[in-house]
Amino acid sequence: MSPGTAPGTAPGTGVAADERIARVGLARRLLIRPELGAVVGAVLVFAFFAAQSPVFRSPAGVANWLDPAATLGIMAVAVALLMIGGEFDLSAGVLTGTSGLILVTLATRFGLNVWLAMLAGLAVALAVGFVNGLIVTRTRLPSFIVTLGTFLMLQGVNLGVTKAITGTVQVGGLRRADGYDGASTLLAGTIDVGGTSFRVAILWWLLVTAVATWVLMRSRAGNWIFAVGGDERAARAVGVPAARTKIALFMTTAFAAWLVGSILALRYTSVQANIGIGQEFIYIIAAVIGGCLLTGGYGSAVGAAIGAVIFGMADKGIVFLGWDADWFKFFLGAMLLLATLANRLVRRYAEEVRR
């Protein structure tokens, strides 16, 4: 900038510079990233448990806490996209159970090939997501209420149908079904890395995170997601297909629920009718820890994935240290409050930087 040029103006013109091409330092770019708080939190949590437990920081220990982080992370990333779009899905947890129940029931009780049973589960999951999105966009009812209703209905269907078919609240025997071996290898198998077995679900988690990040940061759909979450009316005014975008987000969450439900069903070869109930709040907390705002329009897929890592480390780290597992709930509450406060401060700073 030449002497006498006012800050924020183009050199030699006296005209205000376009904020889109204004230079922003590396430190500022990092500070306004939504996943910054999650990265710092993950480093601190890892350092805490690693310092006290050699098992935690060993390859076997890492594989142990990455396992729950993977299945949680798949859902957290999808839920993060939905939250960035300004909506919630309280039926996501129970829908994982519905998908798993459909797979195991059709394969074991009706003799369907595992692959076909999985496709049937996918069709049902996508239909649930579509209906949720359609009701929310057509009626303007809060997604909290709509998906709470879906949650209760699915919970009743899971219990009622499972009891009617099996006489109990559990259905099993998937290992004997036709097509199980191939499906299990693809979704529930393990891979050997340096003599340590890691779950294949970790690769699916990384793939989902990468695709979601590309969509958010590099595609037109990503712009639509941020737009409808930030200000739906303004988004509609500039031609963003808000209803279509939100329906697609609900269906994305449903797809993730189907994937996680299938992974867990193939891994354990049996499913209980109450599986997944309560997990929807864990998904939301992981997304919030990762930088998503409850008001929408802000967040990242990578942040949600890191939030899932924090949960995985805390879940297994508490066990490695021999603590009472009830402390995990305390940890969840503390992380939620801290993350919400941190996200609020980061958002305020980001808005000030852009002015």
pTM: 0.88
Contact 31, 349 (CB under 8 A): yes
- Write down the pLDDT at residue 13: 45
- Write down the pLDDT at residue 341: 75
- CA torsion 177-179-185-189 (nearest 10°) is -20
Per-residue pLDDT of the chain in tens (355 residues, 90 and over written 9): 444 444 444 444 444 444 434 455 655 665 567 777 788 888 888 998 999 999 999 999 999 999 999 999 999 999 999 999 999 999 999 999 999 999 999 999 999 999 999 999 999 999 999 999 999 999 999 999 999 999 999 999 999 999 999 899 999 999 999 999 999 999 999 999 988 999 999 999 999 999 999 999 999 999 999 999 999 999 999 999 999 999 999 999 999 999 999 999 999 999 999 999 989 999 998 998 888 888 888 889 999 999 999 999 988 988 888 888 777 778 878 877 777 777 667 666 655 655 5
- Write down the pLDDT at residue 3: 43
CA distance between the termini of the chain: 19
- Write down the pLDDT at residue 354: 52
Q: How far apart are CA 35 and CA 329, in angstroms?
A: 22
- Write down the pLDDT at residue 30: 58
Contact 273, 167 (CB under 8 A): no
Instruction: Report H helices in 2-58.
Output: 26-31, 36-52, 54-57
- Write down the pLDDT at residue 67: 94
Going by C-alpha positions, the residue among 138, 140, 100, 127 that lies closest to residue 266 is 100
